[in-house]
Amino acid sequence: MLRHIPPRPLFAVLSLVLVTSSSGVQASAALPVFKADPMQTSVSGLSSGAFMAVQYQVAFSKTVRGAGVVAGGPYYCAGTLGYTAAAICMGMVPFMPPNPSLMLEAAQAFAASGQIDPLDGLQNDRIYVFSGTKDTVVYQQAVDATVDFFKLAGVPASQIKYVNKVPSGHALITPKYGNSCAANAAPYISHCTVKGSGYDQAGDLLGHIYGKLNAPVAAPAGQIVAFNQREFVDAGSGMAGDGYLFVPGSCAQDSSRCKVHVALHGCEQSVAVVGNDFYSDTGYNNWADSNRLLVLYPQVNASTAPYNPKGCWDWVGYTGPAYATTSGVQLAAIKAMVDRLTARP
């Protein structure tokens, strides 16, 4: 159960709101200022959130130490083709997988022109990649291309963990919560058994990125707060009015030794669609509570302008041609949120 944390000096000028349910938010406040380590940021996501996690990792590689990519394709896969490239990028066209070499050329061009960080920033990063064998939304040939892209971009193979034998559908995987393992259905959270034990995907990807972690707590005691995303981006971005942040008690008391993980939901998986399932039941908070980890849950909703009927993160360019660069409106908004959480004198 989530509990309220007594006010600390860090929050003296902020009114934080406890989220008791998907509809129990009284009001949204400003995202609080923390002093988390700016060089200990990581990102992960499912589906469109995974494509977005790849974009964030590549665009801001100087300050992102690792990424978790669950059912996502390679960087800038859609290029300038938009939705017409979606089927190829999702691996839905037999014998026509995404071409990671073309994606690398685009990334190199963006880096050379200063539109993303230099690619050598990836060399020390750690990448977790997952593709379920029963996934009928983003097929394995697309995810294979993601692994190949990171290798071509300079990430050593020893720093890439590719989990591709679990008989799961299109979902984030937990030990117990959600649909049966092979499901490809809302809320796109499933439980799977691997080698006799429930597979804890959040722990596997965070452990790969950060190394040995303290054991997760059975029930997070930290606080979920809603915050106003409009401070960072307008409605024309497709992003929702509110985002969410999990704050462990240890970070509320002293955030100087805390880290930030950005967890990006998939299509049709925002709070507006699945309630608190993504930010409460995917396992991130259980690990965050015992490992001084702030978890940022940005939100994007379905919209007609921009055209985003399923509430997906922008990996096809619906917010404009710069969508995969540091000036892309969604990427820049998330980076500004991370900067708020890692602000230091």
Question: Exactly one of 44, 47, 48, 131 is catalytic; which is it?
Answer: 47
pLDDT single digits (tens) 271-324: 999 999 999 999 999 999 999 999 999 999 999 999 999 999 999 999 999 999
Contacts of 171 (CB under 8 A, 6+ apart): 46, 132, 178, 179, 183, 184, 188, 189, 190
**Helix, strand, coil tally for the chain in percent (to 5):** 30, 20, 50
Identify the pLDDT of residue 345.
62
Contact 268, 301 (CB under 8 A): no
> For residue 20, is pLDDT > 70?
no
Question: Exactly one of 28, 117, 125, 135 is catalytic; which is it?
Answer: 135
pLDDT single digits (tens) 104-158: 999 999 999 999 999 999 999 999 999 999 999 999 999 999 999 999 999 999 9
Summarize the confidence of residues 19-30 as an average pLDDT.
54
Active site residue 135: yes
The Cα–Cα gap between 55 and 23 comes to 31
- Mean pLDDT across the chain, nearest whole number? 93
Identify the pLDDT of residue 13.
29
Active site residue 47: yes
Summarize the confidence of residues 189-204 as an average pLDDT.
97
Question: Exactly one of 48, 131, 170, 191 is catalytic; which is it?
Answer: 170
Which amino acid appears at position 334 of this protein?
A: I
Q: Minimal CA–CA distance to 245: which of 67, 58, 36, 52?
A: 36
The Cα–Cα gap between 265 and 35 comes to 25
pLDDT class for 17, splitting at 50, 70, 90? very low
Contact 326, 319 (CB under 8 A): no
pTM: 0.93
C-alpha gyration radius of the chain: 18
